[in-house]
Amino acid sequence: MNTSFTEIYSHDTETDVMHKINSMELANWISHLNYIKKELNHLISLSKDRKGQELEYARFLQSFQKKYNENDTLLQTLRNYLNTRGNIHECEDTQCDMAYVYEHESYRRSYLYHLEKYRRLKDEFFYKVRSNLINLKPTS
């Protein structure tokens, strides 16, 4: 991403500032989804490595693999969207600017929905792991 496009200057219009903030937000989403991709690799590995509990964690393994694919799809979609944002400076009217704003809001909803579902799955997994660890504790 061109950093000069995301720097906010005092002479920028409100619309320019809004587009630049949206571009910075998009870059953050992409960075976060890249991190989630790495994290999902670890969670998939952990789900596979539950010796003696393979059946218990099979559902998590399947869910993490599905979420990995969904994350990858969203990541690619947002990268493609990032490439189309280079044409924003060519907008000559409010209608054009608003089309970009509405499109960005749509991607924001998709990102937040994906994030919420991922967090719930991860929390459920760690709750299960914690419960199993507590049950393994020897009593004195």
- How far apart, in whole angstroms, are the C-alpha atoms of residue 110 and residue 24? 17
117 is a domain residue:
yes
SS (H, E, C) 14-30: HHHHHHHHHHHHHHHHH
Quote the domain boundaries for residue 112.
30-47+54-85+92-123
10 is a domain residue:
no
Would you state the structure tokens that stand for residue 115, as one six-digit string? 């994030």
In this prediction, residue 50 carries a pLDDT of: 75
Of 30, 2, 10, which is closest to residue 88 (Cα–Cα)? 2
In this prediction, residue 52 carries a pLDDT of: 67
- As for how many domains the chain has, the answer is 1
- How far apart, in whole angstroms, are the C-alpha atoms of residue 128 and residue 120? 12
Question: By CB neighbour count within 10 A (0-12 exposed, 13-18 middle, 19+ buried), where does 82 fall?
Answer: middle
37 is a domain residue:
yes
66 is a domain residue:
yes
Would you state the structure tokens that stand for residue 71, as one six-digit string? 């994350």
69 is a domain residue:
yes
107 is a domain residue:
yes
Q: What is the separation, in whole angstroms, between the first and last Cα of the chain?
A: 58
47-50: Cβ within 8 A, 24+ apart: 47/125
4 is a domain residue:
no
Whole-prediction pTM: 0.86
13 is a domain residue:
no
Q: What is the pLDDT along the chain (140 residues), one digit of tens a residue?
A: 444 457 888 888 888 888 889 999 999 999 999 999 999 999 999 988 876 677 788 999 999 999 999 999 999 999 999 999 988 888 889 999 899 999 999 999 999 999 999 999 999 999 998 998 888 766 65
